[in-house]
Amino acid sequence: MGIFVKNYGKTQLTPKQIMRDPVLFLAFGFGSGLVKKAPGTMGTVAAIPVYLLVAQFNFWLFSLLTLIITIVGIWICDVAAKKLDAHDFGGIVWDEIAGYLITMWFTVAFIPFSWPAIVVGFILFRVFDIFKPQPIQWVDSKIEGGLGIMLDDVIAGIFAGIILYVIFQVF
């Protein structure tokens, strides 16, 4: 009884197959999406070092990299879903990485770097991603393919980022 599932998706891919496939490796958040419990949360945890890396750049480069990660993510998630033969499979967490970066874009744009902002951004993004208030729920249920996998997390990231901004402006 380990922390990983034996096989993933309808195609029953093994963790080894996923880690060896460059697209699946990225889609599974560098392996963080392989865990049995809460892969989305682990994917968001994996997004923190990515954020710490790109947050060192100026606002425009951070914005460009976040945009690229998001747009390329549509393709990554689409290919991964097809390889797994499962739409929005839980282990596909590239969308969480992009969503968290979008949440944290608000810190780079408007809030000085701080660990409290990183933690609050994490919590807010997870709340929106898990509970999926409208229109996130509608997008999640109606839009297929890589765009559908990514778009609900993009919206969750925007909502979380706005609230993060408000919290840090008020307090």
pLDDT for the residue numbered 171: 84
pLDDT for the residue numbered 18: 98
The total of structural domains in the chain comes to 1
Report the distance separating Cα 73 and Cα 84, nearest Å. Answer: 16
Report the distance separating Cα 144 and Cα 23, nearest Å. Answer: 19
Residue 66 lies in a domain: yes
Residue 9 lies in a domain: no
Residue 40 lies in a domain: yes
Residue 8 lies in a domain: no
Q: State the residue range of the domain holding 162.
A: 15-170
pLDDT for the residue numbered 1: 63
Residue 140 lies in a domain: yes
SS3 of 22-52: HHHHHHCHHHHHHECCCHHHHHHHHHHHHHH
Report residues of the chain scoring pLDDT below 70.
1
Residue 115 lies in a domain: yes
Residue 2 lies in a domain: no
Residue 82 lies in a domain: yes
pLDDT for the residue numbered 111: 86
pLDDT in tens, 45-89: 999 999 999 999 999 999 999 999 999 999 999 999 999 999 889
Cα–Cα nearest to 43, from 84, 4, 96:
96
pLDDT for the residue numbered 67: 98
Report the distance separating Cα 124 and Cα 73, nearest Å. Answer: 21
